[in-house]
Structure 1
Amino acid sequence: MTSNSTEQLALFDTPPAPPAAPPPAIAPATHTNEAPIPIACPAQLAPGARWREVDTPTQPIGFVLRRSRRTSIGLTVGDDGIVVTAPKWVTLAQVDGAVREKARWLLDKMRQRHRRQQQLAMAETQWREGGRVPYMGQFITLRLGHSGHGHIFEGEPAKPQAGQVLHLALPADADSSRVRDTVHAWLQNMAKRQFDERLQHFLQRSGAVMQRWRLSSANTRWGSCNSEGNIMLNWRLIHFEPVIIDYVIAHEVAHLRHMNHGPAFWQEVGRLMPGFESARQTLRNHHPATLPLL
């Protein structure tokens, strides 16, 4: 690596556990009792595309078939459902065989997208009068119509209690997108304050030197640290309880000394935050793009 290159390390990019405390194994998903996932033909098909269905041991699978100049069969799951792209010389029997072979993977991806769409629909109901939003591990309640200047949180921002109210200086009939953007801005401001305080705590404990830090809006990572000593922390961490926030910050501060996920790195995390393993396992169950759907 040249001296001017930047090595980027993100939380969970390479997540081996400390040798002394390996994480529990995750059992593979089973599909024995799962209901069939609805797979409908898109309202419109692209020119040259066709709708096709095949039977599989789990359920029938419908997909959009496209022909192309590629040299192999490709399968993707997206907004149009399942799309199979195949060379012109590949037979329909071969296409069907590829779909059957990957049926479990395809259905897993479709179920994930279906759950995500349901969660997004539910999330929209939060951005209103009386909506509940997770903040530092507690659900706080939104109240609209505050007539003063700025927004008022009735509790102590660093130690919220369940049910405490965030009064927003918005009209009572503000639409959901405006409420959402306002709450996000407030949460990001709180994240700056809380994260900076905890960064200073762990930096003092570590003795390492950080160049600078900033908030991130990444949809794929909770935090990162590069070889130049710059740290990024996902603002959505403010939804979690303090111990989870501390783990991510300790993780990135440890990278200031060890730009890898080797044994020495995990020992440093353990020195900065003894008993971090539980917080790490909790965070594995959440993805940045799913919040605030805790």
Structure 2
Amino acid sequence: MEPVDSETVVLRPGVLGSEVDCPVRWCRSSRARRVSLRIDARAGAVVVTLPMRTARRAGMSLLATHAAWVMQRLAALAPPLPFAPGVEIPLGGRPHVIRHDPAARGGAFLDGATIVVSGAAEFLPRRVRDFLRAEAKRRIALLAEGHAATLGVKIAAIRLKDTNSRWGSCAPDGTLAFSWRLVMAPGDVLDYVVAHEVAHLRELNHSPRFWAHVERLTPNREKAQDWLRDNGPALLRIG
């Protein structure tokens, strides 16, 4: 998929609705067979995907037809939450306050329910993000190794990504990939996603055998799926 550009489009949700500004990201895809819309929670915009030879006016027509849906979905997004001093962000599902201490050493580290960040203020967002990624890698690796031992499988590697839709994935070569943002979710949610991907090392499908492996590894499936459906998009708005 090739990003084309971004712009603000004026939409009118409903016959009697007033005009509103809508942030739009245009993309072209060689695999797309029709024009489609999706909400990019992280960017707070609607993404319009066009087949390679389709004119932009077709995307505008689809936007106009679904204007009410688009604006409703955008309005329902959680407000963006930056990495900044005094901001409270979740870690393991529990609130932690970011505190800037220029004289401290060690980049960013935990002090109880506080994430202390050292150094110059302009480095704070990157250092918080680096801390969360490192903490995600540590927690995910610990869970994955335990689940892999239970199933008698081997993990080729663990990768961290920052995806918009998939919380985890398993490649045919045994590489597991996870969104680092899962470290902000409750522990039982993280455990479920890790167990889900480790189970794919035995069954690279979603057959009854696969789900039996997941049930063996974690009791958190239904609760975690509900939490990710209801709260997952808000994690994309942090940082």
Q: TM-score, normalised by structure 1?
A: 0.60
C-alpha distance in structure 2 between counterparts of 1:80 and 1:215, whole Å: 25
Do the aligned residues in 1 keep the contact of 2:153 with 2:201 (CA within 8 Å)? yes
Match of 1:188 in 2: 133
Match of 2:187 in 1: 242
1:132 aligns with 2:88: yes
Gapped regions of structure 1 (runs ≥ 5) = 1-40, 43-50, 65-72, 87-94, 156-163
Task: Tell me the CA shift for residue 106 of structure 1.
Answer: 2.4
1:225 aligns with 2:170: yes
Cα distance change on mapping 1:275 and 1:191 into 2, 3 Å: closer
Task: Tell me the CA shift for residue 152 of structure 1.
Answer: 3.3
C-alpha distance in structure 2 between counterparts of 1:242 and 1:61, whole Å: 43
1:169 aligns with 2:118: yes
Match of 2:201 in 1: 256
Which of 104, 120, 128 pairs up with 1:148? 104
C-alpha distance in structure 2 between counterparts of 1:281 and 1:232, whole Å: 21
Match of 2:155 in 1: 210
1:283 aligns with 2:228: yes
Task: Tell me the CA shift for residue 262 of structure 1.
Answer: 1.9
Do the aligned residues in 1 keep the contact of 2:162 with 2:179 (CA within 8 Å)? yes
Task: Tell me the CA shift for residue 187 of structure 1.
Answer: 0.6
Do the aligned residues in 1 keep the contact of 2:169 with 2:177 (CA within 8 Å)? yes
Task: Tell me the CA shift for residue 287 of structure 1.
Answer: 3.9
C-alpha distance in structure 2 between counterparts of 1:170 and 1:180, whole Å: 11
Task: Tell me the CA shift for residue 84 of structure 1.
Answer: 7.0
C-alpha distance in structure 2 between counterparts of 1:250 and 1:192, whole Å: 15
Answer 1 or 2: higher relative contact order, Cα 8 Å, separation at least 6. 1
Task: Tell me the CA shift for residue 252 of structure 1.
Answer: 0.2
C-alpha distance in structure 1 between counterparts of 2:102 and 2:157, whole Å: 36
Task: Tell me the CA shift for residue 137 of structure 1.
Answer: 0.9
Do the aligned residues in 2 keep the contact of 1:133 with 1:292 (CA within 8 Å)? no
Do the aligned residues in 2 keep the contact of 1:152 with 1:166 (CA within 8 Å)? yes
SS at match of 2:57: strand
1:119 aligns with 2:79: yes
Task: Tell me the CA shift for residue 145 of structure 1.
Answer: 2.0
**Structure 2 counterpart of 1:165, one-letter code:** T
Cα distance change on mapping 1:201 and 1:84 into 2, 3 Å: same
Do the aligned residues in 1 keep the contact of 2:88 with 2:96 (CA within 8 Å)? yes
C-alpha distance in structure 1 between counterparts of 2:117 and 2:144, whole Å: 29
Cα distance change on mapping 1:141 and 1:291 into 2, 3 Å: same
C-alpha distance in structure 2 between counterparts of 1:183 and 1:225, whole Å: 27
| Bigger radius of gyration among the two | 1
SS at match of 1:274: coil
C-alpha distance in structure 2 between counterparts of 1:234 and 1:204, whole Å: 22
C-alpha distance in structure 2 between counterparts of 1:242 and 1:80, whole Å: 31
Q: TM-score, normalised by structure 2?
A: 0.72
Do the aligned residues in 2 keep the contact of 1:219 with 1:289 (CA within 8 Å)? no
1:106 aligns with 2:63: no
SS at match of 1:85: helix
1:59 aligns with 2:17: yes
SS at match of 1:119: coil
Cα distance change on mapping 1:179 and 1:205 into 2, 3 Å: same
Task: Tell me the CA shift for residue 254 of structure 1.
Answer: 0.7
Match of 1:34 in 2: none
**Structure 2 counterpart of 1:112, one-letter code:** R
Identity %: 26
For this pair of structures, how many residues does the alignment match? 207
Q: Deviations over 1:99-132 (max 9, x none)?
A: 88x3xx321112323444x712xx13xx332211
SS at match of 2:79: helix
Gapped regions of structure 2 (runs ≥ 5) = 1-7, 23-33, 40-44, 49-54
Do the aligned residues in 1 keep the contact of 2:12 with 2:20 (CA within 8 Å)? yes
